[in-house]
Structure 1
Amino acid sequence: MARFEFRLPDIGEGIAEAEIVAWHVAVGDRVEEDQGLADMMTDKATVEMESPVSGTVIALAGEVGDQVPIGSTLVVIETEGEAAAEPAAAAPVSDAVEEQIEAENPGVEEVAAEPAPQPASAPAQAGAQSQERPASNPGLPPAREHGGDKAPTSQHVLASPAVRARAKDLGIDLAAVQHDGQHIRHADLDAYLRYSAGQGYHAPHASRARDDQPVKVIGMRRRIAENMAASKRQIPHFTYVDEIDVTALEEMRGDLNANRGNRPKLTMLPFLIVAICRTIPDFPMLNARYDDEAGVVTRHGRVHLGMATQTDAGLMVPVIRDAQDKNVWQLASEIGRLAEAARTGKAKSEELSGSTLTVTSLGPLGGIATTPVINRPEVAIIGPNKIVERPMFRPNGSGGDDIVRAKLMNLSISCDHRVVDGWDAASYVQAVRKLLETPVLLFAD
């Protein structure tokens, strides 16, 4: 038997440490080569650490939420055979991990030789749950088998603690959930729930009172909390909202989409970004970053537009570089690419930093008006709201007014009052409004 000490590798980005956001193994677990061990978060991305060897886990570096320095021990695995001891020789077990091994695993060899004990009720529960599932499940193939002819139980399925806790709350047997990857993820649970909804599935005790649940603020949620608190604490915000008639713009957007060919479908956002970029040269104080400590405001000549994007991990802000040089089709393509990269955790570090101005949209939720929080150290953030159809008075050219159906949208902007005056913010939105209400100007040189 040999001990292999897996040290946290250099994940890149010049970071010194990473945060443990999820463990996929526990002490006493058997792991195979390339099996996921833990999810580690840097300032911008989450990376899954995989085991380079097979063996039994005998020590973990810390708990979820702890920071682990690069190069320090993350997991200690006991391997079989002398050959497996060679990698460990280059990385001797640290004193702290030795103490943890001795304290938590007084009989490591016995633990490795015998399977971990299972609760006596587990087989009965698994059997009861399998009886509750329908015998035929069209559209939802059975979960993969695990060893021999026996169907896997939820203990055999690989999933993060958060996914297991959610499945338990919903009364879902993880062994019944179809998944394409090595681990069951939240998206797999969502797909299972969508299918089950059509089969009359209801979460057990959904209408009853539930116990309070303390949730540790870690990972992306902790970074969001820290950034938002710093922004509100240090920046004196003010928000201005104006109403824009987008009837003509929506008609133009419909015509362009009907003749787009193989180009991406246009939403309102690319048109808004073009209007933002065309008006910025007259309002340079808005496309800026404020260095509090140095007391310097840098007005940027290029528009690197941050795009607030909701993901399963929390709010991320991928950046459209040189947005001022792109047309609506190029912007639509870049919006789709960056949003997908952010939601799947594949966005690169350089794609998540360096924005000079941010746009935030709630998409189909819309809302009547918003008061968005500035993405510090920027000095402004713009938020389009829901498009609604309402009657409005419109001059008829004969000295009177006609009542017409109009599509109206509120546009919000929050600004740093240390840098931007209210008059400037209102004037800027009026300039954007002029372009959106006369959309042909968006394409005029």
Structure 2
Amino acid sequence: MGEFIIKMPDVGEGVAEAELVEWHVKPGDPVREDMVLAAVMTDKATVEIPSPVDGTVLWLGAEVGDTVAVKAPLLRIEIAGEGSARADVAAGGEAAEKAEPATDRAGEEPPAKAPVGEVPQPRPTAFEAKTLEAPPPQRAAAAPVPRDIREPVEKPLASPAVRLRAQEAGIDLRQVAGTGPAGRITHDDIDQFLARGAQPAAAPAGLARKTATEEIKVTGLRRRIAEKMRLATTRIPHITYVEEVDVTDLEDLRATMNDGRKPDQPKLTILPFLMRAMVKTLGEQPGINATFDDDAGIITRSAAIHIGIATQTPAGLTVPVVRHAEARTIWDSAAELTRLADAARNGTAAREELSGSTITITSLGALGGIVTTPIINHPEVAIVGVNKIAVRPVWDGTQFIPRKIMNLSSSFDHRIVDGWNAATFVQRIKALLETPALIFIEG
């Protein structure tokens, strides 16, 4: 029998390592060619690693959550044939070459071969050994609860203080024998009841105390989100500016455009209108369409407007990017927004579609709340938050009338964007959304 070593592939240009987010096999499992063995992640893109050979898994080189360097051994497969084979599994194909017998780790010998006719037993890795430990001894059974000494309908005699103590201890006084006058239950009787090992009465169904805990290792996308949030909040001094916007006319226009849309056109939400309003405003305030390299002390202003759209997926929050929003119409923006959101949610978005934004929009839709304090997508300098639309009474000078009101909650990097500039930016967007015809006027 031979041994085939699969190494961490080069999953992208300039990527030196990747995080192992999922194993599909374990030692002893048979594998077939092209069968998916593991999944690794880098820059929010997940890559599946297939097997180039048929064989049996001998060894796994990492645990889920570990960061593995490119070309580092990832797993070993026992294959038919003599000698030992090594291979790098790369994006473009596989390669194998003859080499000297491999060891499990530096200085260790490979697992001993099983006698003919016996199934080889793979050596457990450190993290598998945890599952092979003997289970903890079973806890001794609790002492049996004494049988009720009173009929269920009989109310035991006890003072208010005794009743309060029994209630706090979870003791059913009907199970306690009273030694006082006329069978009255005393504090001594409760002490004797507990000393005998009797258990407090069970709580009603649904009200039982729960003590179980669950430890969940933060891996994959969730770990990258955590790292990104820590980076943003520790390095960026946020200033958040909130303004309400009357979107009554905008909602009327949106409904009219949706009613008249062509079969191949997507349904419009409020986001494409906001994107177009941001494009016009950023043309007037290019300093907000920028990224800040605080290590080098360099601000990069971009003529291209690449708008990231914070999108919730089953795996966690991702930010697909609508590139060159400055060159897109309302309908084109809506179509690209829909395409990217679908790709992000089903895990098919390419790595370049999840990076490179120059400013971000975050929206929770109907769950948007009244006010939010969005966290800037580092290294950008601004993020625009959309809150839910609600009908509110607005005084028009003579009477209150119902209007559709939405808040914009936007955060800025206060190192780069002054409060005046932040307010001017939001007020300009407000003016465009409240008079939506201005969004379509060029120049």
- After TM superposition, the score normalised by the length of structure 1 is 0.73
Superposed displacement of residue 75, structure 1: 1.3
Secondary structure at the counterpart of residue 374 of structure 1: coil
Q: Residues 72 and 108 of structure 1: is their aligned pair in 2 closer, same or farther, counting only changes over 3 Å?
A: farther
Q: Which residue in 2 is equivalent to 1:402?
A: 399
2: CA distance, partners of 1:293 / 1:48: 34
Distance, in Å, in 1 between the alignment partners of 2:106 and 2:428 is 66
- CA distance in 1: counterparts of 2:208 and 2:435, whole angstroms: 51
Alignment of 1:45-444 (within 5 A): 45-81=45-81, 89-90=97-98, 94-97=102-105, 102=110, 107=114, 110-112=118-120, 209=210, 211-262=212-263, 263-394=265-396, 400-444=397-441
Which of these two proteins has the greater Rg computed from alpha carbons? 2
Where 1:426 maps in the other structure, the secondary structure is: helix
Task: For 1:302 and 1:50, locate their aligned partners in 2 and report how far apart those are by CA, in whole Å.
Answer: 38
- Three-state SS of the structure 1 residue aligned to 2:333 is helix
Name 1:137's counterpart in structure 2.
none
Contact 2:85 2:98 in 1 (8 A): no
* 2:42 equivalent in structure 1: 42
Amino acid at match of 1:253: R
Task: Measure how far apart 1:15 and its partner are.
Answer: 1.0
Q: How many Å separate the matches in 2 of 1:65 and 1:300?
A: 35
Structure 2 stretches of 5 or more lacking a match? 87-94, 123-131, 133-205
Match in the other structure for 2:6: 6
SS of the residue aligned with 2:62?
coil
Paired residues of 1:271 and 1:328 also in contact (CA < 8 A)? yes
CA 1:100–1:309 in structure 2 vs 1: closer, same or farther (change >3 Å)?
farther
Q: Could you tell me whether the CA contact under 8 Å between 1:248 and 1:439 is conserved in 2?
A: yes
Q: Partner letter of residue 335 of structure 2?
A: S
Deviations 1:64-83 (A, max 9, x none): 11122222221111123459
Q: Is the 8 A contact 2:114 2:121 kept in 1?
A: no
Summarize the Cα distance change of 1:431–1:101 in structure 2 as closer, same or farther, 3 Å threshold.
farther
Where 2:245 maps in the other structure, the secondary structure is: strand
Q: CA 1:89 to 1:100, structure 2 compared with 1: closer, same or farther past 3 Å? A: same
CA RMSD in angstroms comes to 2.7
1:247/1:207 CA distance change after superposition, 3 Å = farther
Could you tell me how far 1:299 is from its partner in structure 2?
A: 2.0
Q: Contact 1:246/1:409 (CA < 8 Å) preserved in 2?
A: yes
CA contact (8 A) 1:387 1:407 kept: yes
- After superposition, what is the alpha-carbon deviation per residue over 1:109-149, rounded to whole angstroms, capped at 9, x for unaligned? 744499xxxx9xxxxxxxxxxxxxxxxxxxxxxxxxxxxxx
Runs of 4+ in 1 over 6 A off after TM superposition: 98-101, 205-208
Shift of 1:84: 9.7
Question: Which residue pairs with 1:150 in the alignment?
Answer: none
Question: How big is the shift at 1:210?
Answer: 6.2
**Is the partner of 1:303 in helix, strand or coil?**
coil
Match of 2:89 in 1: none
Percent of residue pairs bearing the same amino acid type: 51
Per-residue Cα deviation, 1:342-372 (whole angstroms, up to 9, x for no partner): 2222222222222111111112321111101
Aligned-partner SS, 2:272: helix
| Aligned equivalents of 1:77, 1:52: Cα separation in 2 | 10
Q: Deviations over 1:376-399 (max 9, x none)?
A: 1111100111011122212xxxxx
Give the Cα separation in 1 of the matches to 2:76 and 2:54. Answer: 11
Tell me if the contact between 2:30 and 2:55 (Cα under 8 Å) persists in the aligned partners: yes
Cα distance in 2 between the residues matched to 1:41 and 1:206: 42
* SS of equivalent to 2:368: coil
Alignment of 1:25-40 (within 5 A): 25-40=25-40
Gaps of 5+ in 1: 120-204, 395-399
Work out whether residues 249 and 437 of structure 1, in 8 Å CA contact, stay in contact via their aligned partners in 2.
yes
Return the letter of the residue paired with 2:418.
D
The one-letter amino acid of 1:346's match is T
Residue pair 2:382, 2:412 contacting (<8 A) in 1 also: yes
Which amino acid is the alignment partner of residue 434 of structure 1? A
Contact 1:56 1:112 in 2 (8 A): no
Residue identity in the other structure for 1:393: W
Q: Pick the structure with more helix per residue.
A: 1
Q: What SS does the aligned partner of 1:410 have?
A: strand
How many pairs align? Answer: 351
Q: Supply the AA of the counterpart residue of 2:20.
A: I
What secondary structure is seen at the aligned counterpart in 2 of 1:384? strand
CA contact (8 A) 2:247 2:404 kept: yes
- Aligned CA distance change for structure 1 residues 409 and 288 (closer, same or farther; 3 Å): same
Other structure's SS at 1:411 match: strand
Q: Is the 8 A contact 2:104 2:110 kept in 1?
A: no
Q: Which range moves more in the overlay, 258-267 or 86-95?
A: 86-95
- How far does residue 251 in structure 1 lie from its aligned partner after superposition? 0.7
Cα shift at 1:238: 1.0
| 1:139-180 Cα distance to aligned partner (Å, 9 max, x none) | xxxxxxxxxxxxxxxxxxxxxxxxxxxxxxxxxxxxxxxxxx
Q: Give yes or no for contact 1:2–1:81 (8 Å, CA) kept in 2.
A: yes
Offset at residue 266 of structure 1 (A) = 0.4
Scaled by the length of structure 2, what TM-score is found? 0.73
Corresponding residue SS for 2:429: helix
Q: Is the 8 A contact 1:20 1:64 kept in 2?
A: yes
